[in-house]
Structure 1
């Protein structure tokens, strides 16, 4: 799914947090903190409904990558590790308590790389990692969507069924979203996992049973990336199962964060 916001009306609901981090709702004292990472072509506002639904019990932060929405004037990054480096640095002011990380699709891998960086730096390590709609980093597929022409990129969006067809028919919208989308696909499709320490936090994997981007076997491999508990939840649906099953996903997150 691609997020497009015309004007700044929606972004004005953010209550600060600098260039990289958006906080759309405030939370009560001592609330657990959940950091959400968007998919390829996605924006922080994809998680606006999550922040609204979980507030004030959970402090939801959403990551805003460069090259979209209020960062449209910035060059999007095409190196996933550089993205993770900069997000980890941006999260430093929020590390007064352990961070729970949730990422969908490309965002799952960025969340994983950020978790490694938090774990290896001074301060609290990650409390938990939630990975949605993405195979484990150590699995490998050859994917070349980022090398397609614009029409090929649009076909990919239609295949994943996460973007409103009306947006894909709007030339102005396409001109806005395609540069960041192509950069994101290049970042995730050229990413190669390197040997790394096991995570010291539990990992929960979520996926749709008809997702063309990840199989059950590929999702199961996430258990090999943690020294702690691992579990897997399968929902009916495709790559964007989480929009259809948002209440169930939010219930799962709320229960885990309370625990």
Structure 2
């Protein structure tokens, strides 16, 4: 069922709901693997492995969001046989939203809840030119955001391996446009780090207009990668929100 795109580190056939998790630009499924021990038996964790990383390091990330979503939607169809929610961090939040919009357009099962982390609402998306930076400037940007150990970027062999994939991700997200203005029918929760240099509370609050259901904004101490500092708090909040709809 998982194929190249999906990893289920702890299969739970009797789970009430699945939680699909999408990484940030340059990120991998490893960001979410600690969540396996934090989630109850009623939630099955499904990790998305995008092209250009981990076991797919020799694959190229699609150049545009529409192609990525078409491929990803095909991969997730097998998990739509039971309720599901989705958590996306940074770039992953945009991918999560676009995936839901695409599934709506195809009359397929949409998510029960979307958690958008460290990402501005689509109407505030500013694009960018990080993918055009030279290697040194790109490394400084990654260190500024956190989430990447500076010492790793000082190793030439690792830089040569990591930076092309990171550029592909940044090109994808910085050139993408929202595909639809249709609000979703599921709740949206926006999660932010109070000291995130890339995101204001107002930009995160803008997600409210993308749902016909409930919207919540949750703030945490920390920067763009606040969730690495307090995974237990983040997962507890996700479980609490999903518990409103399912007996977890």
User: Structure 2 length as normaliser, TM-score?
Assistant: 0.94
Q: Does 1:96 align with 2:96?
A: no
Aligned to 1:131: 116
Aligned to 2:200: 215
Q: Name the CA distance, whole Å, in 2 between partners of 1:225 and 1:80.
A: 19
Q: Name the CA distance, whole Å, in 2 between partners of 1:243 and 1:214.
A: 17
The worse-fitting range, judged by mean Cα deviation, of 53-62 and 142-151 is 53-62
Q: Name the CA distance, whole Å, in 1 between partners of 2:151 and 2:142.
A: 12
Aligned to 1:245: 230
Contact 2:50–2:61, Cα closer than 8 Å, also in 1: yes
Shift of 1:155: 0.8
Q: Does 1:77 align with 2:77?
A: no
String of CA shifts for 1:24-81, please: whole Å, max 9, x gaps: 1112513310000000001122211112321533101011111111001111223122
Q: Name the CA distance, whole Å, in 2 between partners of 1:172 and 1:257.
A: 42
SS in 1 for 2:124: coil
Structure 1 unaligned spans of 5+: 1-15
Q: Name the CA distance, whole Å, in 1 between partners of 2:180 and 2:242.
A: 29
Match for residue 51 of structure 1 among 36, 50, 62:
36
Match for residue 34 of structure 1 among 19, 27, 30:
19
SS in 2 for 1:36: strand
Aligned to 2:165: 180
Contact 1:25–1:52, Cα closer than 8 Å, also in 2: no
- Calculate the aligned-residue CA RMSD, in Å: 1.4
Shift of 1:140: 3.0
Aligned to 2:4: 19
SS in 2 for 1:27: coil
Contact 1:108–1:130, Cα closer than 8 Å, also in 2: yes
Shift of 1:119: 2.0
Structure 2 unaligned spans of 5+: none
Match for residue 156 of structure 2 among 162, 166, 171:
171
Q: Matched residue pairs, number?
A: 244
Contact 1:44–1:64, Cα closer than 8 Å, also in 2: yes
Contact 2:101–2:180, Cα closer than 8 Å, also in 1: no
Contact 1:205–1:222, Cα closer than 8 Å, also in 2: yes
Contact 1:207–1:241, Cα closer than 8 Å, also in 2: yes
List structure 1 runs of 4+ shifted beyond 4 angstroms. none
SS in 2 for 1:95: helix
User: Structure 1 length as normaliser, TM-score?
Assistant: 0.90
